[in-house]
Structure 1
Amino acid sequence: MKPALERFVVDYLAELVEGNTAIFAGAGLSVPAGYVDWRELLRPLSKDLDLNIDLESDLVAVAQFHVNASGQNRHKLHKALLDALSRDAKPTDNHRLLAQLPITTFWTTNYDKLIEDTLRERGKIVDIKSSVPQMATTRPHRDVTVYKMHGDIDRPNEAVVTKDDYERYSKQREPFITALAGDLIKRTFLFLGFSFTDPNLEHVLSQVRLNFTTDQRQHYAIFRSRSKQPGETDDDFAHYRARQIHVIEDLKRFNVKVLLVDEYSEITDLLAELVNRYRRRTVFVSASAFNFDPWGQPAIIEFAQELGRALIADGTRIATGLGAGIGDAIFTGALREVMRTKAIGIEDGLVLRPFPQSGDPTELASLWEDYRQEIISQAGIALFLFGNKLKDGHTVPADGVVREFEIARDQTIVVLPIGATGSAAQTLATLVIGDPDKFTPELDGASRGHLAALASHTPDLKSLIPPIVELIRKLQGKV
């Protein structure tokens, strides 16, 4: 990854953790899903005006010209919007990655529903703001607010399209300007698929700059480096490349730092890295024990408590289902560290899903499966310890731990079975170490060696804790 992109990931991740981020999405986010851009949307209308849309740079003016020529009748313009945006389109990888991040505020000039639909697919409650009356209401228990500052395809007659619409914006849709200005002050924005030619946004950015001359919040935008287009002359290419440089420099006035990529696929890689690093802040601990041999119950409990404490002390969030015999010890150690430091809230350091024990066995099995799927989905690393239970009077590997390993693999979570703890963890470690390219592609050679070393029996379980924490730190990008 380029150094500038790596610095962005580190800085933006810190803002994500603090809950201070927002996304501003332009048309470029939706085009890869199959929707046309503004130029293609207006192409049939430009023919009515005897204009060549490929020679036009002011597309808002073209929309206004068409309304003027139609005697202020917007029917054909609205129909063009509906024809272009009403058909089904599937969210892109970028939409899906953004929906996995803990971002609670989205702004967009797009009319389509890709952002909100993708968020709902992730089980999030979305509060849509596409009209002024909606700005005065709040959806109960919302997870995300999506501000559609130019309207929604469901109301094409209210869409901001023409010069008239832009000129009236500050009066007719003033609450959007006020809300956007507030978010630009308190949140770190990432602009995606946006060209910064929208006069409404420029007005708001200018107001923020004038009011906060020395303490503006840092924002980011991603541009593709201007490359020479087929059939483009050297002079034209030089012009457009120079213009991009000037735009990038001008955006510094608003404290917007532009990140350049050579290919759009790099944006997907960048978002995937953000998702991975954020999820890896949370470690799912899969563990259970009925038989405590050969160390004895006190030693295993002490180990589990110290491991929970060490992970929290290192800034790792723990997710656990409180596995039988040991899960409570991990929770206890983690909770003591949270209460001791008071640096974070309990909910910020621990994700708990105690497994219900009473009820119909068939219904319980289904509920446990749902529990496992949900809690593991919140983590980016899964740690497997011990894993045995009593069945028909005999100690056997815990099938719950094995199932959690399978779910973690299905969800592309990094799996770290600690073989030295024996039982199911030992079996899983043998499997993983035997085929690292299949089971641990995320680990480099040194980390694979460390995991293999953690499969060797030790009389002192607590000696496993420093290398476990170090392995997790490396996966989290802390070392």
Structure 2
Amino acid sequence: MLQPNDVINEFSKALVEGRGAVFVGAGISTPSGVPGWADLLRDIARKRLDIDLNPNDDLPLIAQHIVNSTNNRGPLIAHFRDVLQKTFPHNKYHAMLAKANIKCLWTTNYDTLLEDTFRTHYKVVVHASDESISRGGRDKDIEVIKMHGCIELSESNDLVATQEDYDDFFENRPATAHRLRQDLIDRQFLFLGYGYGDSNIRNIVVEARRLGKQALRQHYIVVRRIRDKDARPEEIAAKQARQNLWLRDLSRVGISACQIDEYTELEEILQRISLRSRGQTVFVTGSHERDDATKESHPRRLGELLAEKQGLVLLDGQSSGTGREVTSAYMETCLHKRIDILPRLRLFSNPYAANPSLSNDMTLLSVLREWRSPLLRSAQVVVVYDGRMGTEAEVKLAKDVGCRIIPVPESPDGLPTRLLEDPVISQPLEALDPDYARKAREGYVSPEDVVECLMKMLYS
């Protein structure tokens, strides 16, 4: 079995390289109050079939029996719509996924929580049918592929629900099946929200088996160990033995398991993946009106030191002042030391640079956040020098998308000093580098202190 660090390291690397994808099951929506498969079917099974579900029931087959009872799938789908077309809040798992560098998500869920959460900061294209997958979509940051349809977008016949739907899936949805085959070969998947015996994941495993001896990539699944506080020890042992057999069978088709005891462990795994998936990236922000651009200035020295760190990538927001000092020194040092600058520097356009007076226009702050969103979503760490409302807007966005933040205090009442009073920023900083936090509260940190703290953040 894999350890959490194995999954974090390997899957984060896949996301950095653009070859990772997440496959989301019902367990990710459960904390939002969305009914799982059994809960969806329980009432209608009792009403239509006069049976009570038990944990060993084959749920797609139960759905098939419900349809067979009237030779009409309308009542089943109407029941699904009645239950699922409500307002459910997104949860911490959705939020953590939305902060990661994920370009492709597959899901067997009917609900819209996943795409709704990503739309906060991304342009999302949802594929809920074969026609949609065939048509594609150009203007997108994220693809969400709804393998079994969508409660809002799909026609009744397009929702995969019954045993017949599962049996005919690859015949009725050839474009989806082809895309799944290709992604299982081209991408590394992380499966989340699936449990032992889940009928949805069985369908995916069938497709992996059909690929046979083709070069499948290594995939990962995070599952909670079976626990039942009301069961006898021998019953728990038997259930765990069955779960282990299932996980061993998954490994046969390239899906390696990481078992956890508590869901808080999944939170930590996703939190670390969300940051590590952005790569060793840093963005430096501060006032565009800085006037100490000398060879001895703090930002210039920081830029020189960052250039010496192998593998680090500086994000250039094309800002004047602080950002330009850092970037100029960074580029000059790379060129002087004959370091290939192309993989070490990423440019993000800044329309404000064309007219610096715009940076103090309060009415354009919402536009600034929209323009800066791709940059901040790409940054693992943001270093903050003193600045005014433009800098404050970037820091707020950095917090929203989950960046780690290093304040660099320069004055008693400056922005970085105020940020040290924000527990969202100060608590992680205190836990990771208490020496830096202490020096920052005392009012001065050297460029060397900033880089040391930065490297701890990048590799923690």
Deviation at 1:335, TM superposition (A): 4.1
Q: Tell me if 1:318 matches 2:311.
A: no
Letter in 2 for 1:64: Q
- Alpha-carbon displacement from aligned partner over 1:99-119 (angstroms, at most 9, x marks no partner): 221211111111111111111
* Cα distance in structure 2, aligned partners of 1:263 and 1:248: 18
Q: Report 1:43-62 matches (<5 A).
A: 43-47=42-46, 48-54=48-54, 56-62=56-62
* Cα distance in structure 1, aligned partners of 2:37 and 2:379: 39
Of residues 440-449 and 30-39 in structure 1, the stretch that sits farther from structure 2 once superposed is 440-449
Deviation at 1:432, TM superposition (A): 6.8
Decide which of 146, 151, 170 is 1:153's aligned counterpart: 151
* Cα distance in structure 1, aligned partners of 2:358 and 2:60: 63
RMSD: 3.5
- Alpha-carbon displacement from aligned partner over 1:424-460 (angstroms, at most 9, x marks no partner): 4895666677x697852113578232455579999xx
Q: CA, structure 1 residues 244+368, in 2 after alignment: closer, same or farther (shift >3 Å)?
A: same
* Cα distance in structure 1, aligned partners of 2:412 and 2:397: 14
Report the counterpart of residue 301 of structure 2 in structure 1.
303
Letter in 2 for 1:167: D
SS at match of 2:352: coil
Of residues 153-162 and 218-227 in structure 1, the stretch that sits farther from structure 2 once superposed is 153-162
Q: Report 1:463-478 matches (<5 A).
A: 464-477=446-459
Report the counterpart of residue 434 of structure 2 in structure 1.
448
TM-score normalised by L of structure 2: 0.84
Of residues 111-120 and 234-243 in structure 1, the stretch that sits farther from structure 2 once superposed is 234-243
Q: CA, structure 1 residues 354+424, in 2 after alignment: closer, same or farther (shift >3 Å)?
A: farther
Deviation at 1:184, TM superposition (A): 0.9
CA contact (8 A) 1:308 1:333 kept: no
Deviation at 1:180, TM superposition (A): 0.7
Decide which of 197, 205, 229 is 2:208's aligned counterpart: 205
Deviation at 1:369, TM superposition (A): 6.5
Letter in 2 for 1:194: Y
* Cα distance in structure 2, aligned partners of 1:362 and 1:381: 23
Report the counterpart of residue 111 of structure 1 in structure 2.
110
SS at match of 1:19: coil
Q: CA, structure 1 residues 376+121, in 2 after alignment: closer, same or farther (shift >3 Å)?
A: closer
Report the counterpart of residue 329 of structure 1 in structure 2.
325
Count of residues paired in the alignment? 446
Q: CA, structure 1 residues 7+364, in 2 after alignment: closer, same or farther (shift >3 Å)?
A: same
TM-score normalised by L of structure 1: 0.81
Of residues 5-14 and 424-433 in structure 1, the stretch that sits farther from structure 2 once superposed is 424-433
Q: CA, structure 1 residues 183+278, in 2 after alignment: closer, same or farther (shift >3 Å)?
A: closer
SS at match of 1:247: helix
Report the counterpart of residue 64 of structure 2 in structure 1.
64
Deviation at 1:343, TM superposition (A): 7.0
CA contact (8 A) 2:205 2:253 kept: no
Deviation at 1:82, TM superposition (A): 0.9
* Cα distance in structure 1, aligned partners of 2:204 and 2:279: 35
Report the counterpart of residue 273 of structure 1 in structure 2.
272
Q: CA, structure 1 residues 40+260, in 2 after alignment: closer, same or farther (shift >3 Å)?
A: same
Q: CA, structure 1 residues 235+136, in 2 after alignment: closer, same or farther (shift >3 Å)?
A: same
Report the counterpart of residue 260 of structure 2 in structure 1.
261
Letter in 1 for 2:179: A
Letter in 2 for 1:318: L
Of residues 408-417 and 21-30 in structure 1, the stretch that sits farther from structure 2 once superposed is 408-417
Q: Structure 2 stretches of 5 or more lacking a match? A: none
Report the counterpart of residue 41 of structure 1 in structure 2.
40
- Alpha-carbon displacement from aligned partner over 1:143-189 (angstroms, at most 9, x marks no partner): 12222111221323321111221222221112212111110111110
- Alpha-carbon displacement from aligned partner over 1:86-133 (angstroms, at most 9, x marks no partner): 1111111111211221211111111111111111122x2222222222
- Alpha-carbon displacement from aligned partner over 1:288-308 (angstroms, at most 9, x marks no partner): 46543xxx8243385365245
Deviation at 1:85, TM superposition (A): 1.2
* Cα distance in structure 2, aligned partners of 1:409 and 1:167: 46
SS at match of 1:471: helix
* Cα distance in structure 1, aligned partners of 2:73 and 2:85: 17
Letter in 1 for 2:218: Q
Deviation at 1:327, TM superposition (A): 3.0
SS at match of 2:81: helix
Letter in 2 for 1:367: L
Q: CA, structure 1 residues 416+107, in 2 after alignment: closer, same or farther (shift >3 Å)?
A: closer
* Cα distance in structure 2, aligned partners of 1:269 and 1:415: 18
* Cα distance in structure 1, aligned partners of 2:97 and 2:72: 38
* Cα distance in structure 2, aligned partners of 1:432 and 1:119: 27
Q: Which has the higher contact order (CA 8 A, sep 6+)?
A: 2
Report the identity percentage.
Answer: 25
Report the counterpart of residue 350 of structure 2 in structure 1.
353
SS at match of 1:228: coil
CA contact (8 A) 1:384 1:418 kept: yes
Q: Structure 1 stretches of 5 or more lacking a match? A: 388-397
Report the counterpart of residue 180 of structure 1 in structure 2.
180
* Cα distance in structure 2, aligned partners of 1:168 and 1:241: 32
Report the counterpart of residue 189 of structure 1 in structure 2.
189
Deviation at 1:74, TM superposition (A): 1.1
Q: CA, structure 1 residues 457+191, in 2 after alignment: closer, same or farther (shift >3 Å)?
A: closer
Q: CA, structure 1 residues 337+181, in 2 after alignment: closer, same or farther (shift >3 Å)?
A: farther
Report the counterpart of residue 236 of structure 1 in structure 2.
235
* Cα distance in structure 1, aligned partners of 2:272 and 2:178: 33
* Cα distance in structure 2, aligned partners of 1:121 and 1:408: 11
* Cα distance in structure 1, aligned partners of 2:76 and 2:40: 9
* Cα distance in structure 1, aligned partners of 2:424 and 2:130: 52
Q: Report 1:372-411 matches (<5 A).
A: 374=373, 375-376=375-376, 378-385=378-385, 387=386, 398-400=387-389, 403=392, 407=396, 411=400
* Cα distance in structure 2, aligned partners of 1:31 and 1:439: 30
- Alpha-carbon displacement from aligned partner over 1:231-263 (angstroms, at most 9, x marks no partner): x34443222111011111111112211111112
